[in-house]
Structure 1
Amino acid sequence: MGEILVGTCSWTDRELTGSGWYPPGRRDAEGRLRHYAGRFAVVEVDATYYALPGERNSRLWAERTPDGFVFDVKAFSLLTGHPTRAALLPDGLPADARDPRVLDEVWARFAAGAEPLREAGRLGAVLFQFPPWFRPGARAEDFLERTAERTAGWPLAVEFRHPAWWRGEQERATRALLTRHGMAAVAVDMTQALPVSVPPVTPVTSPRLSVVRFHGRSAAWGTGSKEDRFRYAYQDAELRAWLPRLRALAGRVERLHVLFNNCCGTSAVRAAEAMTRLLGRPADGRPVPA
């Protein structure tokens, strides 16, 4: 039975840092991370989607967290086919993902930035979150194959935002595709009332890792502001309904990461605390066998 690690998709979200969840004396960069890592065993680094990670920051994160704590690092936007401003690229390179020179340099910088976490045993996974227009087909499969070649030996997790990947007969093909590349499938919880809703399937495609990301169930998904999309407070009954699936996943992998992305105020940390309690985890969130 694998370990279950519960956490959130950010520890630096502006609304969280201003909410009072961090106590006095723990509101600087070091204090916030130490406080968070004393309560949960995993966190997702959202900032690396918007800017390439720096080796210094990664080294500091490793130094400020206890043994057993891990970071899931979100892949930089250009690496998942999202629009990326040229100002965010090294040395002013053009934001053209078709240019091999650009891609080679961005991949190298991303890998170097995350390396201190890997060396310290703190790299839980690299999350490749693909955009809603990334749909099943030959072009997408080719993109995934090239990504697998670039990331050989990395712990990878893949989240698809286009629902067709997990609907109908395509689900089996998607499962086989990720399994072939050794990529862990990311399951999601979100509203099921929209045409773009991704179904809450829980495939296992890697024996090492499974990831579940709770986005909240706001009906504003895909339309409103970031706060509107993620403003949702999970109730215990909603979390409890996931317990059989989480325990089943943990029974098939070495580690299961359960992450709350409803980052609006304290909603994500409160949901993570509630899930920790419902799973019977220790109060400090340390990973133990499921």
Structure 2
Amino acid sequence: MRVYIGCGGYTNEDWAAPGLIYEGVRKDDYLATYSAHFDAAELNSSFYAIPGLKAFEGMARKSGGRVRFAVKVNRVFTHDRAPESADFDRMLQSPEPLREAGVMGPYLAQFPYSFHRTADNRRYLALLTERFAGHELAVELRHASWDRPEVREAMAELGVIWVSPDYPPVGGMPEPQVHVTGDVAYLRLHGRNRETWWEGGSAAERHDYLYTRAEMDEWAEKIALVAGDLSELYVFFQNTTRGHALKNVPMLREALSARGVPVHAPDPQESGRLL
């Protein structure tokens, strides 16, 4: 199993604080710096506006082929749920430079908590997966009504990746387990800040959480149990606020290595900056 570990987005301005990896780094050089520390990135900007070919060309070039990109599908597919053919065309064609460079990871469809398991929503999800057929598609379903074996069995039949999440313990959402629906798995670690998950005014507030070493050990144990079933695992830390993810990534790498799960740790240009 090849493990790819990265963060939700790479343009995190919090990381320009003293002692963190973007201190003194120009914004144009953020991705090059990021690629010295991580081998995967989850692209958030595509949720708000689908980048063009040149933007994706720039990502492939600046990352030097060292980063796998998971591309979040635009909100028209998951929140508005009214995509037109042109939206599908642009979403599927624009990342072509990443494919040509061999650094394209799965697409990520992140559905909101309000997307319950109803007949209409099941039909919509079937339509979406059909339109993304031939491409790796990871689906995050935040409402607990989807957290059922039969849902994952259907996703396995369709070749869709179930996104295994770690949410705050607030109830009503899927349990924190690694579920396998194919030979690729996808894990999103959102943090466990229960005070701000519903009430937080921004994503930064909701993800303001630093995992403990014991919590990273828990996830390493869960990953090790399914390692033999997978060819690839993507792990993305969403708790980028105040640089929390920069501290947690090394913890997870160490915990996985201690359990015999090989992890690639890029050599940072400036030793120690990630920690």
TM-score, normalised to structure 1, is 0.84
Equivalents in 2 of 1:19, 1:110: separation in Å?
Answer: 37
**C-alpha distance in 1 between matches for 2:217 and 2:127:** 39
**Is it true that 1:253 corresponds to 2:230 in the alignment?**
yes
**Deviation of the 1:154 alpha carbon:** 0.7
Would the aligned equivalents of 2:56 and 2:97 in 1 still touch at CA under 8 Å?
A: yes
Name the amino acid aligned to 2:139. Answer: V
Please say if 1:225 is aligned against 2:201: yes
| Superposition map of 1:20-39 within 5 A | 20-23=19-22, 26-29=25-28, 31-39=29-37
Q: Structure 1 pair 25/148, CA: closer, same or farther in 2 (3 Å)?
A: same
Q: How many residues align?
A: 261
**Map of 1:132 onto structure 2:** 113
Partner of 1:211: 186
Report Cα offsets for 1:205-251 as digits up to 9, x if no partner.
122x1011100000121221223211001111110111121122332
Are the equivalent residues in 2 in contact too, given 1:210–1:249 (CA < 8 A)? Answer: no
Q: Is contact 1:249–1:256 with CA below 8 Å preserved after alignment?
A: no
Give the aligned partner of residue 56 of structure 2: 58
* Change in 2 beyond 3 A, CA 1:53/1:18: farther
Q: Distance in 2 between matches of 1:201 and 1:282?
A: 23
Which residue is equivalent to 1:114?
95
Q: Is the 2:15–2:23 contact (alpha carbons within 8 Å) kept by the matching residues of 1?
A: no
Q: Which of structure 1's runs of 4+ aligned residues deviate more than 4 A?
A: none
**What pairs with 1:114-193 in structure 2 (closer than 5 Å)?**
114-166=95-147, 171-192=148-169
User: 1:10 offset after TM fit, Å?
Assistant: 1.3
**Paired position in structure 2 for 1:284:** 266
Partner secondary structure for residue 185 of structure 2: strand
User: C-alpha distance in 2, partners of 1:21/1:8?
Assistant: 15
What SS class does the counterpart of residue 71 from structure 1 fall into? Answer: strand
> What amino acid is the match of 2:236?
L
Cα distance, 1:24 vs structure 2: 5.5
Change (3 A) 1:163 1:17: farther
Cα displacement (A) at 1:12: 0.6
Whether the aligned pair in 2 keeps the contact of 1:21 and 1:266 (CA below 8 Å) is: yes
Structure 2 stretches of 5 or more lacking a match? 258-262, 269-275
In the alignment, is the contact (CA less than 8 A) between 2:43 and 2:69 conserved in 1?
yes
Identity of aligned residues (%): 29
Q: What does the per-residue CA deviation read over 1:93-135, in whole Å, with 9 as the maximum and x for residues that have no partner?
A: xxx81xxxx6111111222221211222111110011111211
Distance in 2 (CA, whole Å) between partners of 1:238 and 1:45 is: 25
Q: C-alpha deviations, 1:144-175, integer Å up to 9, x for none? A: 22112211211110110111211xxxx11111
Q: Which has the higher contact order (CA 8 A, sep 6+)?
A: 1
Task: Quote how far apart the aligned CAs of 1:20 are.
Answer: 4.9
Corresponding position: 1:201 with 2:177? yes
Following TM superposition, by how much is the alpha carbon of 1:17 offset from its aligned partner in structure 2, in angstroms? Answer: 3.8
Provide the TM-score with structure 2 as the length reference.
0.88
CA RMSD of aligned residues (A): 2.0
CA contact (8 A) 1:41 1:285 kept: no
Larger deviation, residues 183-192 vs 102-111: 102-111
